[in-house]
Amino acid sequence: MATVTLNKENFDQTVEDNAMIVVDFWAPWCGPCRGFGPVFEAASEQHTDVVFGKVNTDEEQELAQGFGIRSIPTLMVLRDKVILYSEAGALSAGQLGSILERAKALDMQTVQRELAEQAEAEKGPDPKT
């Protein structure tokens, strides 16, 4: 599957409509981004069950800021609307493949339950009790 260009108009809908999304935050002037581009494209052809999207941080500064992107390239993996991975730095094909396989293998019901438990614990005790 070819990569899609993500922007603030289509980002949320893309996440909503797809089980797993891999996002490359990049910029045209960034050497490491240009080096990682072919690795990202090759992975998109290999993992046709996953949506691969690119966010040009020069054009989509608001979107990049919303995710706290401070360095590029930054790779983000979302599954079932949960950010599973977000790290700056160009990856090798093997590293990217490993991250994708681990993300696909996760039991998302367990992840969702753990997130709910963590959110509940962060709220603290109910002051009414």
> 56, 34 in Cβ contact below 8 A?
no
Q: Quick check: is 70 catalytic?
A: no
- In percent, the amount of the chain with pLDDT more than 70 equals 96
Would you say domain 4-122 falls under CATH 3.40.50.12780? no
Q: Which of 15, 20, 23, 30 is catalytic?
A: 30
Q: Which of 15, 33, 51, 72 is catalytic?
A: 33
HEC per residue, the chain: CCCEECCCCCHHHHHHHCCEEEEEEECCCCHHHHHHHHHHHHHHHHCCCCEEEEEECCCCHHHHHHCCCCCCCEEEEEECCEEEEEEECCCCHHHHHHHHHHHHHCCHHHHHHHHHHHHHHHHCCCCCC
Q: Model confidence at 121, in pLDDT bands (50, 70, 90)?
A: confident
Q: Quick check: is 30 catalytic?
A: yes
Burial class of residue 109 (count of CB atoms within 10 Å of its CB; 0-12, 13-18, 19+): exposed
The model's pTM is 0.88
pLDDT at 129 over 60: no
- Residues 11-53 have pLDDT tens digits of 999 999 999 999 999 999 999 999 999 999 999 999 999 999 9
Paired tokens of 56: 């040009």
* Domain spans, the chain: 4-122
Range from 40-54, 55-69, 90-104, 108-122 carrying the lowest mean pLDDT: 108-122
- Look at residue 111 in the predicted model and tell me its pLDDT: 86
